[in-house]
Structure 1
Amino acid sequence: MAIYIVILLLMVLVVILLHHYKTKQKKALQVRGLANIAYLKSLIGAVQTHRGLSSAWLNGDQSKQAMLLTFEQQADSDIKYLQQDMAADENGRWDSFVDHWARINQPGNTNDADNNFKQHTQMIANLLYLLEDEAEHKHLNAMSLQALAHIGFVWRELVQTTEMIGQSRAIGTGIATRKICSSVDKIRLSFLQQNMQKTINETLPKLGSLDSESEQHKALLTTAFATMQCLMETIKSDLIQADKITITQDQYFALATNSIKSLDEIFKHQLAQVKQVI
């Protein structure tokens, strides 16, 4: 009888140790995934800013060349950190991005502003997919983070909204530089403006927070609402409906960047909350 009790106790001990090992392994994956996501978000931001500055440069503002180099160096630094983990990407998106990024920064690659915009946007789309995949593969989803049931909106809709603003920044910066808003530009900006309004109405309200972080969360949302509303009004009055473009490209770039930063602050706050629960 005693031997059966010993065997049973050993089995229970094995189960407890196995559970402890799996829990520890899962947490290690989550910590690494969170670090990778932070670097992916930084890389996305660098490529988005590079796209906006490229728009000004290719539309005639030669003063942006030095700033472009700064964000190329930031992107290269983020790529170096991520290379080991992201190289295992089964869909080939990471390799595609790295190859594309290297080619777009070669001297004389393109002097066409529209093509440059499209190439940057394609690269960013790959990075957005990679960020969402990293969250899923590293157990940073709602199933694993039950205290943050809304977290999927952070990895998907929130970063996609930042990209919409980034696209409007690049398009609007080009318009403000050359002082012409074509019919194609107006259609593009109107589409992005509609989606930004949808974000204000539907996506941002779905983001939540831990009870202890609710006040800061509300303050960050209020700031984001205000900056996005200001940007949308400027797009409408100073670009789409304007008979003459008077806003400078620096003014518009700064306004759009301010809106992006307000969403980035929400993203950082969400990451800080994930750190609390893993």
Structure 2
Amino acid sequence: MDRLFAPAEAIIGRLSYTGKIFLLVVIFAIPVGFLWWQQFSLIQDDIQDAARERQGLEYLGRAIAVYEAIPRHRGLSQAVLNGDQKARGRLDATAQEVDAALQRLTADDAQDAFKTRKHAQMIADQWRRLQAEGDTLSPAESFERHTALIDEVHRLITHFADQAGLSVDEDITLSLLSRAVVEDLLMSAEYAGRMRGIATGLAAGAFDMQAFARLRSLSDALEGRLSDLRFRMEHALDDDPGIAARLNPPLKQADTALQGFVDYIRDKALGSSQVRLATDEVFDKGTAAIGAAMKLADETEAVLADQL
């Protein structure tokens, strides 16, 4: 062992007192510098992650605008294709809203960061084909084509929420809020949108026994999603009174509006042998309920942005 350290002892023995002090400083500086660099790298990673999540939130807002507009077009299409030509003006105006929302989405540079450009462009192409063929489709075909397109938009939203780190954030509150919006709130809005479309078709004169079965199934599915939404949001808000104060009011409003729409459909379409629906009324009630859900989504996005 002495022979092993002999060369080092010889070198150190030749150093002056100042040289030995300098050597000790260097020896201790190496691990300290390494630890400092590791800490600096972690801080930089956190900054980059937060920037990526903020970018994801901005993209989320653009995608949700598409997700909200296409279901409105689906519902109005059911009215027009079932003979209610009074809804044509609202249908055309909503189509322009979808066009504008898709243009903002596909022009967003964030697509490259989240690898969504091809998916977003595919959605835009499918929308253009649906628009071109819209008046030639049966009500059932139109409904299914719209619904498939909405499902694609939701897949896009889910993908970039994961890519941006929103749904897997280390902060459990942020992760739960993100998942509550993407998995529960948006699907609750979509179930309400499907109910709105089917009920609008019934109000316009369509008669399909399967439509009543679908309304019952969707009513149950929406209530199930609302239960999941309440549980996840309450769990997320338990430990932060400030966030709870901001989100509890719009959460209650969305919950009340969506449940109220379910109750309305059950009363007017499922509660008796005669359908008691008016086209404008059922469409507007469904739209108001979905609007309350979207307000909750907007406020949750704002809270997430403030926390990043």
- TM-score (structure 2 length as normaliser): 0.81
Give the aligned partner of residue 26 of structure 1.
49
Contact kept? 1:104, 1:110, Cα under 8 Å: no
Aligned pair count reads: 277
Hey, what does 2:144 align to over in structure 1? Answer: 118
5 Å-filtered alignment, 1:160-175, equals: 160-175=187-202
2:6 aligned residue: none
Quote the offset at 1:138 in angstroms.
0.4
Instruction: State the structure with more CA Rg.
Output: 2
What residue in structure 2 maps to residue 218 of structure 1? 248
Residue type of the alignment partner of 1:223: Q
Partner of 1:141: 167
The CA distance in 2 between the partners of 1:81 and 1:91, in whole Å, is 12
Residue 131 of structure 1 is matched in structure 2 by: 157
Q: Match of 1:203, as an amino acid? A: L
Q: What letter matches 1:131 in structure 2?
A: I
- The 1:259–1:90 alpha-carbon spacing in structure 2 relative to 1, beyond 3 Å, is closer
Q: Which amino acid counterpart does residue 29 of structure 1 have in structure 2?
A: R
1:149 CA displacement: 4.4
CA contact (8 A) 2:105 2:120 kept: no
- Superposition RMSD on alpha carbons, in Å? 2.3
Q: CA deviation at 1:187?
A: 0.6
Where in structure 1 are there 5+ consecutive unaligned residues?
A: none
CA distance in 1, matches of 2:117, 2:56: 18
| Cα contact 1:103–1:109 (8 A) shared by 2 | no
Long gaps (5+) in structure 2: 1-22
Identity %: 20
CA distance in 2, matches of 1:193, 1:241: 13
Q: Which aligned pairs between 1:29-178 and structure 2 lie closer than 5 A?
A: 29-83=52-106, 84-86=109-111, 89=115, 93-106=119-132, 110-151=136-177, 152-178=179-205
CA distance in 2, matches of 1:155, 1:145: 17
Q: Could you tell me how far 1:232 is from its partner in structure 2?
A: 1.6
Q: Where does residue 213 of structure 2 map in the other structure?
A: 187
Who is 2:291 aligned against? 261
Could you tell me how far apart the structure 2 residues matched to 1:253 and 1:102 are? 24
Deviations 1:216-270 (A, max 9, x none): 4332233223222321222122112333333211011111111111211221221
The 1-side partners of 2:49 and 2:286 are apart by 38
What is the distance in 2 between the residues matched to 1:108 and 1:203?
Answer: 34
Partner of 1:272: 302
Instruction: Calculate the TM-score normalised by the size of structure 1.
Output: 0.90
